[in-house]
Chain A
Amino acid sequence: MASVAATEHGRTAVYRYGFRRSPDQDAATPVRHPVVVVGAGPVGLTAAIDLALRGVPVVILDDADRIGEGSRGICWAKRTLEIWDRLGVAAGMVEKGVTWKLGKVFCGDDLVYAFDLLPEDGHKMPAFINLQQYYVEGALVERAAGLDGIDLRWRNKVVGLAPGNDRARLAIETPEGRYHLDADWVIAADGARSALRDLLGLSFRGVTFEDQFLIADVRMAADFPTERRFWFNPTFHSGQSSLMHRQPDNVWRIDLQLDPRADATEEQRPERVIPRLKRVLGDIPFELEWVSLYRFNCRRLDRFVHGRVIFVGDAAHQVSPFGARGANSGVQDAENLAWKLAAVLRGEAAAALLVSYESERMQAADENIAHSTRSTDFIAPHSAAERRLRDAVLALAPRAEFARRMVNSGRLSVATVHDSPLSSPDESPFAGIARLGAPVPDAPLRDRDGAQGFLLERLRGTPELLWVADGARPQPPPGVALTVIGEDLVDDAGLFAARFDATPGAAFLLRPDQHLAARWRSFDRAKAGAALDRMLAR
């Protein structure tokens, strides 16, 4: 593919890509592909890379020719990083990104509440990194470009969609004319203003919040702490909520709540923005990188799977940014879908497996929408009466723990625990933090050669049985990899044992997306086979 041209610094940092004519455009009849992903954002690229690594060739279509109009998403959660680590892209992001885990909440100028998002050690990935979305997309595009199975086509705009029983036909507009493609499956990752959603005539259900938020990225040399800092009623912003967050390259994100009646065009003019920011930053010299004005939505589609078209990320659901639940949940959609679609395409699972994508990720969307709605209600009360209650919580917070627990400046994204049809219910109780239907917790482990590493980076991306050594190695069902804890990987620190409540002989069946599907106090091949069938919906 025509590759990365340049990273510019200035008002917008941009990676630019060229259009390249595909041989598909000269075919007499539409060429058929197993999977076409529409949208080369973090979610679409994650889905495509995951599928390609599972041996499924993917065509990605994107109507743009560049990345990077502004930082947009900046907070990437631990689970997202674990997914990207499995896909081989996390290391560079973590190195470039700003690692953080502490949040502070101020009322007026006083600290009322502080939180630590990852108070324990023994995880490969941090609680969060902050990294501009253009760097994330740049890294994912580079990874995709290195995979034979991925055909990434810039300036390919989907303008038509004809649904069929066993495929969907896409009409695509390019600088060199229109062509058509057939796809066994279409992944709609085309964002909040999804064209595919419009082409299918689908609409959202949910709420739009009245208050507007000014989102500005500024470049400055400041020594503010590497923490998420949130203010209710700060003196520097006349009683409205504010958020400040550090990004790499001396870029800082500042969110300022504005009045619902504020004029959107007027408020984005530098003559308006810069004085506002000066009140926040005082005498520190800064340069305005990017500014945008948002009104938040909390809403989702009724269904995510529409025949052969499957919606992921913002195309399927939207939340306010307080909690970093937008892009992070989208990446988790992509991972949830990729192994299932690959298993269906390889004939290892029936298409019914995709029903679990919808049920699991609609649960996640509902959870994220609920959290995001609560946070937004707290940050931007709907009326004077609601604001009075909110301010009472803030007034009590310094002196009463119960009130501190109600202070809500955003509950930050953690992996969803899915109540999943793919999970086999526990037969005996397990303590620890591992949960059925959730990604398993990481733990430091040492391999046979004495190399220190972590559990998640050792998982193979297939169905996998973790068995705690207790005599002869068991024989797992066909298609299931075996890792013996105590032999293949050694739990010196005892954190695997604690987090999984792993006793000798205990067995844990993991999905290809590292979610826990079943566990037993001792291994039984027939039970493991039944749990595997259930996990693959067969």
Chain B
Amino acid sequence: MPRLVTASRFADPDAAYVALVDARRGLSLEAAADLDAKLVLILANHIGDLEVLREAIALAKGAARQ
């Protein structure tokens, strides 16, 4: 029974996306990758659930690169 929530949880998903875009505005790919690595660690700790984290990793790996 998966525990990862993939249903939309933001009241305003566009605003959440904009926050993530704004965070990387003006950054190189390299610098954005650094930012994302830190974001992953911060959010993983916030979730604090190893099973959910593993499901999220599986989803991310399974999604084909566009």
Q: Which residues of A contact B28 (CB under 8 A)?
A: 383-385
When the two chains form their complex, are residues B25 and A382 in contact, meaning their CB atoms are under 8 A apart? yes
Knowing A374-B17, A394-B66, say if A402 contacts B24 (CB, 8 Å). no
CA A403 to CA B10, docked complex, whole Å: 11
With A383-B27, A385-B27, A411-B14 as known contacts, state yes or no: A396 contacts B63, CB within 8 Å.
Answer: yes
Question: Within 8 Å CB of A401, what residues of B?
Answer: 6-8
Which interface residue of A371, A406, A408 has the most chain B CB atoms within 10 A?
A406
Report A-chain residues with C-beta under 8 Å of the C-beta of B29.
384-385, 388
Establish whether residues B21 and A402, one from each chain, have CB atoms under 8 Å apart when the complex forms.
no
**Closest Cβ–Cβ distance, residue A154 to chain B (whole Å):** 43
Q: Are B7 and A395 in contact (CB under 8 A)?
A: no
Contact A399 B59, beta carbon cutoff 8 Å: yes
Binary A-proximity of B12-45 (CB < 8 A = 1, otherwise 0): 0110111011001111110110000000000000
Give the chain B neighbours of A403 by CB distance below 8 A: 6
A296 on the interface (CB 8 Å rule)? no
Give the residue name and chain of the A residue nearest to B18 (CB).
Answer: A374
Query: Does B3 belong to the interface (CB within 8 Å)?
Result: no
A208 and B25 CA atoms in complex are apart in Å by: 16
Residues of B within 8 A of A382 (CB): 25
Chain A, 362-406, contact with B by CB distance < 8 Å: what is the 0/1 string?
Answer: 000000000100100110011111101101111110111111111
A486: chain B residues at CB < 8 Å are none
How many A-B residue contacts, CB cutoff 8 Å? 78
Chain A's closest residue to B14 (CB) is A374
Closest Cβ neighbor of B5 among chain A residues: A402
Residue total for A at the interface (Cβ-Cβ under 8 A): 33
A429, B52: Cα distance in complex, Å? 40
B65's nearest neighbour on chain A, judged by CB, is A395
> In the assembled complex, how far is the CB of residue B4 from the closest CB belonging to chain A, in whole angstroms?
9
Interface magnitude class on chain B? 20 to 34
In the complex with contacts A388-B32, A400-B59, A233-B66 CB distance below 8 A = yes
For A233, A399, A400, A408, the residue with the greatest tally of chain B CB atoms inside 10 Å of its CB is A400
- Closest beta carbon of chain B to A112's beta carbon, Å: 10
The reply to whether A408 and B14 contact each other, CB–CB distance below 8 Å, is yes
Q: For B63, list chain A residues within 8 Å (CB).
A: 392, 395-396, 398-400
* Residue among A386, A399, A406 making CB contact with B24, cutoff 8 Å: A386
* Shortest 9 CB-CB contacts between residues of A and residues of B: A385-B32, A400-B6, A405-B13, A405-B8, A402-B8, A395-B63, A391-B66, A406-B17, A385-B24
Provide 23 A-B residue pairs closer than 8 Å at the C-beta atoms, listed in order of the A residue: A371-B14, A377-B18, A377-B21, A381-B21, A382-B25, A383-B24, A383-B25, A385-B24, A385-B32, A388-B32, A389-B20, A389-B21, A391-B66, A392-B63, A392-B66, A393-B17, A400-B63, A401-B7, A402-B6, A402-B8, A402-B10, A403-B6, A405-B10
A interface, CB within 8 angstroms of B: 107-108, 232-233, 371, 374, 377-378, 381-386, 388-389, 391-396, 398-406, 408, 411
Q: Besides A396-B59, A398-B63, 7 other CB < 8 A contacts?
A: A107-B66, A371-B14, A374-B18, A377-B21, A382-B25, A395-B65, A402-B5
